[in-house]
Amino acid sequence: MAVNNSLFDLTGRSAVVTGAAGGIGSAVAEALATAGAAVLVTDIDGDAAAAVAERISANGGKADSLALDVRDREAADAAMARAAGLTEGVLHILVNNAGVTDPAMFADTTVESFQRIHDIHVLGAFTCSQAALPFLSTDGRGRIINVTSSAGITGTLGQVNYSAAKAGIIGITKSLARELARKKILVNALAPLAATPMTETIRTDEKFAANVLNRIPLRRWASPEEVAGAFVFLATDAASFVTGQVLPVDGGMVM
């Protein structure tokens, strides 16, 4: 039986990716563009976001960029309108990827650190999703794809702030999936693990790196490009009956 390649075609659709200046975010933006989407690359570092958009355009894709602090509602409103403008006023895909870490043992975690991590991950996903809602397609092609982590599923030593935030993302995903199903908007989350600047501290520490690798059945780290395909899948018609799910893309660490 032949594979229907049109299931994975995003031609004519628009996407916005937050935190897309590097790491998983930039890989996802590039993968969506390769699949045919017009992509708005956003990041708090506007210059770095612009460089990613320029790279996509140089490779034959369609992309624009914008500086965006995901905690800023007015900025989020402007970003979603601009992304929708790439495809005649309709937005098809929002990827809530923006995030940071600030590891510390619980006794040393400050209120300021806990609040900042919560605001960027949880408030950021809330703000951008709510800003996107008036523009999101309601013909079955609308997608919100959130980024969580194994930390939000199983917890992580020395990352109570990050684990709590990523667990919050899972709650947002499941609640929104139920609510937005009536609008034919699908909401899912991915829990990826890849070699990025965010994981560099762990990967370069011999003890921490060995501990993580021992928990990964495939015994290696993925590249950002390697996990980006799962985002494309959830964005396409191939995932038209998938909503409210959390998909680990971590070499089998969470199963």
Q: How far is residue 202 from each of residues 101, 112, 179, 205, measured CA to CA in Å?
A: 12, 23, 37, 5
Question: C-alpha distances in angstroms, 3 versus 36, 57, 88?
Answer: 18, 29, 30
Catalytic residue among 39, 41, 124, 162: 162
pLDDT digits (tens, 9 = 90+) for 154-195: 998 899 999 999 999 999 999 999 999 999 999 999 999 998
Question: CA-CA distance, 36 to 15, in Å (whole number)?
Answer: 10
pLDDT of residue 20: 98
Compute the radius of gyration of the chain from its Cα atoms.
Answer: 17
> What pLDDT, on the 0 to 100 scale, is given for residue 244?
98
pLDDT of residue 4: 64
Return the CATH number of the domain spanning residue range 11-245.
Answer: 3.40.50.720
pLDDT digit string (tens) for 132-158? 999 999 999 999 999 999 999 999 889
Q: Which parts of the chain sit beneath pLDDT 70?
A: 1-5
Domain spans, the chain: 11-245
Known catalytic residue at 42? no
